[in-house]
Amino acid sequence: MDSSMTGHRVIMEERGRVEVTGVIDLLIFDENEIVLDTSQGILSIRGMDLHMSNLSLDKGQIALEGDIGEIFYDDSQKAAPKGKGGGLMNKLFKG
């Protein structure tokens, strides 16, 4: 985790925009679900027409827009151990 990363926060505006800090990796991304590995665990955001308006894994930040239906932490999912490259971004850039 980069030293410039801020603590973990989830800020939702009007069920149409979400900003998350403390993001370690982007695990799943499509228009109906986004799953993030955060400093506080696996965070799932579900809805319709979801898209990223900002992503900076170096800073641990993501901003999403769309019709947000639910946000929850999923303790049953475990992220890949650090350095194992299990996330979507690692697969895209190292695969």
Residue 40: how many other CB atoms lie within 10 Å:
13
Domain count, the chain: 1
Does the residue 27 lie in any domain?
yes
Query: pLDDT category, 71, cuts 50, 70, 90?
Result: very high
What pLDDT, on a 0 to 100 scale, did the predictor assign at position 77? 62
Query: What is the domain extent for residue 16?
Result: 9-77+84-94
Instruction: Tokens for 84, please give them.
Output: 């194992």
CATH of the domain at 59: 2.60.40.2000
DSSP labels for 21-39?
ESEEEEEEESSSEEEEEET
Give all strands of the β-sheet with 61-73 in edge-to-edge order.
9-13, 17-21, 61-73, 41-56, 33-38, 23-29
pLDDT tens digits, residue range 14-52? 999 999 999 999 999 999 999 999 999 999 999 999 999
